[in-house]
Chain A
Amino acid sequence: MRLFATLVVLGFRRWSTYRLATAAGAFTNTVFGLIKASITVGAIGAAGGELAGYDAQTGATYAWIVQALIAPVNVFNWNELALRIRDGDVAIDLARPMDPQFAYLAGFLGRAIHQFIPRGAPPLLAGALITGLALPATPLPYALGLVSVVLGVSVSFSVWWLANLAAFWLIELRGVLTLNVVAMGILSGLVIPVHWFPDWLATVAALTPYPSMLQAPVDVITARAEGTAALGVLAVQAAWLAGVLLLGRLVFARGARKLVVQGG
């Protein structure tokens, strides 16, 4: 536990050194939030003022919260492990008395904690000023929402971990990582809510861990999923997390074995 906490703090500190990058990211998130909120509200207007349970206000709120969560959940890129596998530094990780997946998860969470306020607050503030936010008035959705965000970040880590492991077998990894970004962009609810998907696409999304990264936390925070429904959402997230983490462990073990046996 002390190790995990130390590594979370370290992950936090690593990112806190890049203040300018954080400020630039927050600005970009906010600008895109404005564009996305406008498009979302426009789409709802075109659909007659309501679309799959979203009205103009809740639709805009959805867009703003997603923008606030993009950075902590880390939708766009994580290739730290892949780089270490490619240049052989993963040997250093193997030669330490710790579990690598556990250590990297801690670092990933530390990064998310750092990004939470500086990258999350500006879009939410802009949203409150420009379109207004439709947020629940009771504390429970926020408490459950926080759990859901932590689970969402962890699910994102578990999927990135798996994608990065391809580096054990492939030299050029951009294809795999880009595929992950595209899948995440569409299926997580980043662009439009998963609830707007046609049935076939909703089915596809439900068969992947992606909706657990963004759609799930936003549903819980905005109390679209309340009470038992919210707990159900958390359970689905936890199940994906456990499954993908476990798969990541097995694949890592195979990759490390290849490295250790073939010397690749």
Chain B
Amino acid sequence: MTEPIIQVRDLRREFVVRTPAGRLRRTRTVVAAVDGLSFDLAEGAAVGYIGANGAGKSTTIKMLTGILVPTAGTVRTCGLDPVRQRRELARQIGVVFGQRSQLWWDLPLAESFRALAAIHRLPEASWPVRRDELVDRLDLGEFLATPVRQLSLGQRIRGEIAAALLHSPRLLILDEPTIGLDVLSKERLRVFLAEQRALHGTTLLLTTHDMDDVQRLTDRVLVVDHGRLVYDGTLPGLTTQVGAERVMVVDLVEPVPDLGTVDGARRVAVESDGLRHRFAFTPERTTAGAILEAVGRRGQVRDLAIEEPDIEDVVRRLYLAQIRGDDPAAAP
């Protein structure tokens, strides 16, 4: 058994929040952003790290990368102590903070790659090969000569991801990489990330608000809430446990009061005297296509929409389950 690429034990991080109280005094409150977190990540894994805003995701990532000191507990990333060996660690990991840029804002994208190659001391003979691969797979060619400040969000994020992967890191940490991207851009990014993982065996840790990201890219899910790990397992396990289903809303041309049962889906509601039907389903049991086909045999479909369970909803359900006394973290 090789050493895990990330090892977190009883990790805790407190912040001191000062709020004005009266004219001169300030009250000092200690808030634990991360509170007793423990988990291991095996080399080559792809893990989704999810939780609502303020759950402690970014704080954890900062501790994993050595730019924040834990208040208590230990972190090992790539076998290193992140804070004390931050620079060595930086050679082995790639990080994308969705809200921050590591590119040179007023220079063409290509110049950022050149700078990063120098910063990571990549061999002059080999790094252009890697760059060309990334340019090709992420489709950066068109705007390689464009100053970063003039790139669209989707273009910039692709550039950021290429920048994080240029030195072929063992571990890629993505903090909200698809935030603000349109459906097509998200899709292209997911295809790319899946492909890189298959090709290079890069370990992936991903924080996101997008359930689709988790489903498409990861094989394990960690859910944090108020700094605590509330779930560790597979996504199907999570959806089964909290009943986080997708809902397909079908509008018909002519009302059909009773569509009958659809295999693998649950009828949730019939509205407007049979003009609108709602079916809940999980992707493991059936597909949207199968439901649509079944419905289409019984009535003419005018329009349809799919409602995704959001992360906040999943986390809320987990939280409620915990209050009721179940222990979600023990489930498969």
Contact = CB atoms under 8 A, between A and B. Distances in A.
Contact of B97 (A92, A98, A260, A262): A92
B114 A17 contact: no
Nearest to A92: B102
B147 A260 contact: no
A262 B16 CA distance: 8
A77 interface: no
A125 B213 CA distance: 61
Interface string B69-106: 10000000000000100111011000101001110101
A260 B119 contact: no
A88 interface: yes
A220 to B, nearest CB: 32
B107 A14 contact: yes
A263 B114 contact: no
Interface residues of A, number: 23
Contacts of A3: 118-119, 121
A7 interface: yes
Given A260-B67, A260-B69, A263-B15, A88 B100 contact: yes
B111 A13 contact: yes
Given A3-B118, A13-B111, A91-B62, A263 B104 contact: no
B147 A17 contact: yes
A97 interface: yes
Q: Which of B67, B101, B111 has the most CB of A within 10 A?
A: B67
A10 B104 contact: yes
Given A3-B118, A6-B115, A263-B15, A89 B69 contact: no
A102 B139 CA distance: 33
Nearest to B15: A263
A260 B111 contact: no
B16 A10 contact: no
A92 B100 contact: yes
B106 A17 contact: yes
B1 to A, nearest CB: 29
B115 A263 contact: no
Contacts of A17: 106-107, 147
A7 B67 contact: no
B128 to A, nearest CB: 14
Contacts of B69: 260-261
Contact of B119 (A13, A94, A96, A261): A96
A19 interface: no
Contact of A10 (B83, B95, B115, B121): B115
B320 interface: no
Interface string A76-99: 000000000000110110111110
Contacts of B147: 17
A75 B147 CA distance: 27
A152 B83 CA distance: 35
A263 B100 contact: no
B51 interface: no
B12 interface: no
Given A260-B66, A263-B15, 13 more contacts: A3-B118, A10-B115, A13-B111, A14-B106, A17-B147, A88-B100, A91-B100, A92-B100, A96-B102, A103-B119, A260-B69, A260-B83, A263-B59
21 contacts: A3-B119, A6-B118, A7-B115, A7-B118, A10-B111, A10-B114, A13-B107, A89-B100, A92-B102, A95-B66, A95-B90, A96-B119, A97-B87, A97-B90, A98-B119, A259-B67, A260-B67, A262-B16, A263-B15, A263-B62, A263-B68
Interface of A: 2-3, 6-7, 10, 13-14, 17, 88-89, 91-92, 94-98, 103, 259-263
